[in-house]
Structure formats: C-alpha cells, structure tokens
Structure 1
Amino acid sequence: MSQIALPLSVRRADDPVRIVIGNANRAVADALTHPQDWPFRTAVLVGPPRSGKSLLARWFAGQGGDVIDGVDTCDETEVFHRWNRAQESGTPLLLVSDSDPWEIALPDLRSRMGAALHLQIGVPDDMMVEELLWAHAEARGLALGEGAPTYLVPRLERSFAGIEVLVATIDRLSLERKVPATLSVWRDALEAVQGADQPRLI
C-alpha cells in the first residue's frame, strides 16, 4: 500500500489528508505520473462516487496538467476548445467523468474522446479498505481503536462511499456517547449504515 501526499494548497476540509493508493487505483496513479505516454496527451478518468477522482485530478493539476472535472456535464464546444488548446500547448489534459462512455453529440469531440486513454477506479480489496478506514479516521481526528479493521473490514460495504459513511457514523456515535470508538460503537455504526435506505455523508 502506498500514498500520494497532497500539497496543502489542494487540500479541502472534507478531503482525506492523503490519497490512498491500492489495487483499485494503482494503475490510474501510475498513468497520472506518465502523461507523456497518453495518446494525444489526453486521458478520461471514471470511478465510483467518493473514490477520489477529483482528489487525484487536483493532484494532477498541481503537477501542471489541465483538468476538466465533471466533463460529462460541460458544454461540448468548450471541451473541444480545451482539447485543442491542450494540443497546441503540449499540456496533458485529464477529463473526469461519472460515466464512460457518456453521450457526446459533437462528432469531432466524440472521436477525440474515443482516442483518449481511458482510466477507471475499481473496487477496493481488503488491504485498501483497511487503509481507507485509517485515512478517513485520520482526517477526522478519530482514534478508531485497536482491532477496528479486523472487525470492520469483513463486514462493511465494498465501496468508497460506504467506507466513508461508516467512519463518519463511528465518529458521530463516539461523540454523541462521549466514549472511545470501540467494539460497541463499531457494531452500532455498522447496523446504522446497513439499515439506512441511503447512506449520507455527515
């Protein structure tokens, strides 16, 4: 397991202090460090909610790349112009989308997006889930407690959003009860998250 340390200038209050690199995003991280290898120096990044797409994009922008986050909701003509400007300047262009492919009406843009490198963040394995638990707890200043991963990892939802929601719920219950985050809190947090119709980040 490894991590990319983020400069303070690109951190936000609701972001982890680091980007956890594991099985789900290692290929993406490797590709972002070698934009000179991208076809037309253009890549499209997709992944599940809360999987760190925007965080990786901000890191990439901090390295001098050009980024369009939410490209699937942007004006297609503007995206096409940004692609042209990136080609003229030799600046690598990273396009972040919630879905790939997305519906593109402009034929010229559609052909260029088809030629780009397509990167996807996958599902975290147990090792990455454990590291994400620690990262989210660290970002909240939460002492998760010894043995937390052993208990939580086999039981929690295998999704980035689910992991974040669980840590937030543990933090809330611990604060409400004014007790450390130990087994009873972990168990009740799991029950609360698994019983909710729709997880909410708090």
Structure 2
Amino acid sequence: MNHRQLSFDLPVRPALGREDFFVSPANAMAVVLLENWRDWSGRKLALIGPKGSGKTHLAHVWAVTSGALILKATDLGDVEIPAVAMGPVVVEDVQDIAGLRPLEEALFHLHNLVLAEGFPLLITADRPAHLWGLSLPDLMSRMQGTQSVNLEQPDDQLLSAVVAKLFADRQLMPSPDVISYLVARMDRSFDAARDLVAAIDREALARKRPVTRKLAAEVLGQSELPDLLDNPG
C-alpha cells in the first residue's frame, strides 16, 4: 500500500524503519499489538507514552505496514476530514488539543468516519485519555473506550539502544563503553537521552573531537578516574 504521510520538521533525521526499532520488555506489548493491528478491538488503538518513548517511531512503522496517513492532532483543522478518513490514519499527540473545541470536534468526526469506512485508527498521547482534559463529552467517551497500550520508561537495555540510535541519527558511532557510561549516569528518560546526545554532539563539533568517554564525562559535568580513562571497560 502507499504510505500517505504529511511533512514534519525534526532537528535531525531519525531512522524510522522497523529494523531500527529496538524491542525490550518496556515496549514489547506495544510492538505485538501494532503488528497484530487487524485484531484491534473496534479497529482502534491508543499508544500512550512519554515524549521520546518511541511513539512516533512505532507510528511510522505501522503507517508503512498499513498505508496510514500520519497527522498531528493540532493539524486537524487544516485537513478535509472526509478525504482523510478514506484510509488508515494515525493522529499524534491528541493531548495537545484538549480544550480546543474545533479540533476536538474534528477528531470526533474523523474517529467516527474512519471507523465507519472500515479502516483502523491509531492515536498517540503522552498520558491516558482520562487525563487529557477533553471538553467534548462524546469524544472523551470514545477515547476512554479505546483500547490502549503503554510504552514504559526505558530499562537499561532499551535506554542503551535509544542512546545508540540517537547518536546514529547524527551520524555518530561512539564505542559501546561510551554508551554504557552514559546510561549508568544519565537521567532515566527518553527526553534526557535526546538532550544529552544533542549536547555531546554540539560539544564534539565545537571542539572538533570524537565522542569519547572523557568528552561524555565532561558534558555530564563529571570526571573519571585516570585508570578508567586509560583502561575503558
């Protein structure tokens, strides 16, 4: 099927293929549900997780598989809902339209039309539906009645893979000891991983230095013992 996708802006170009997505206990259930999308209850699924948890990546993987159009919830006022509803759809970051009545109504109509046409609907958000603060009762009831799956905060295995991927997206390939050093000391969140990799990239460019554990330690505001620097492991 054709992959119908709108343009979006990112500071770096991420790899968004299925082969680039690392499966761990933190996201395994979400991966299984997305791979078995034809069995979704009511043909819809809500993918819930914090910013940077892999929602966008998984949404793109599913869009390739299903031929879905990817929309930001905040862009729903700029599209023709009947036309958009003639195929599978992903609506990202639904929590961002809470209290914006025209956009909530647009999502309500899109939800109903997509399902009436027999197509699947994937929505993403950073928290469960009852915490979005939607003002349209009919939309709230439909969102709360949608099957959902959570992307959990990363375990060591997943965080290591995320950090490695973030470096790879910037065409950087630090040694494994650099990644394990960072994972052991950084804040344990996807946002922290993104910010840290960006900071290390900026510092490496500014100093014209490769990404080493010493540079990583300096960016973290820490220092390593000389024997660790001389004998990384």
TM-score range, shorter chain: 0.7 to 0.9
What does residue range 95-114 of structure 1 map to in structure 2 within 5 Å? 95-101=123-129, 102-114=132-144
1:169 is matched with which residue: 199, 221, 228? Answer: 199
1:68 is matched with which residue: 63, 84, 91? Answer: 91
Query: How far is the alpha carbon of 1:161 from its aligned partner?
Result: 1.0
Q: Say whether residues 1:132 and 2:134 are aligned partners.
A: no
2-structure distance, mates of 1:109, 1:183: 49
Residue number in structure 2 paired with 1:32: 34
1:77 is matched with which residue: 65, 85, 105? Answer: 105
SS at match of 1:147: helix
> What are the superposed Cα offsets for residues 102-125 of structure 1, whole Å, 9 maximum, x if unpaired?
122322222221221112211111
> Amino acid of the residue matched to residue 70 of structure 1?
D
> Amino acid of the residue matched to residue 28 of structure 2?
R
Q: Say whether residues 1:91 and 2:93 are aligned partners.
A: no
- In 1, are the aligned partners of 2:30 and 2:150 still within 8 Å (CA)? yes
User: Which structure has the larger Rg over C-alpha atoms?
Assistant: 2
- In 2, are the aligned partners of 1:38 and 1:116 still within 8 Å (CA)? no
SS at match of 1:112: helix
Structure 1 unaligned residues grouped into runs of 5+: 1-8, 193-202
SS at match of 1:138: helix
SS at match of 2:25: coil
Query: How far is the alpha carbon of 1:15 from its aligned partner?
Result: 4.3
The ranges of structure 1 where at least 4 consecutive aligned residues each deviate by more than 4 angstroms after the TM superposition are: 9-13
Percentage identity across paired residues of the two chains: 33
Q: Say whether residues 1:158 and 2:188 are aligned partners.
A: yes
1-structure distance, mates of 2:27, 2:13: 17
Normalised by the length of structure 2, the TM-score is 0.71
- In 2, are the aligned partners of 1:39 and 1:115 still within 8 Å (CA)? no
Query: How far is the alpha carbon of 1:22 from its aligned partner?
Result: 2.1
2-structure distance, mates of 1:44, 1:179: 43
- In 2, are the aligned partners of 1:20 and 1:135 still within 8 Å (CA)? no
SS at match of 1:142: coil
Normalised by the length of structure 1, the TM-score is 0.81
CA RMSD of aligned residues (A): 2.2
1:99–1:146: structure 2 CA closer, same or farther, 3 Å change rule? closer
Q: Say whether residues 1:188 and 2:218 are aligned partners.
A: yes
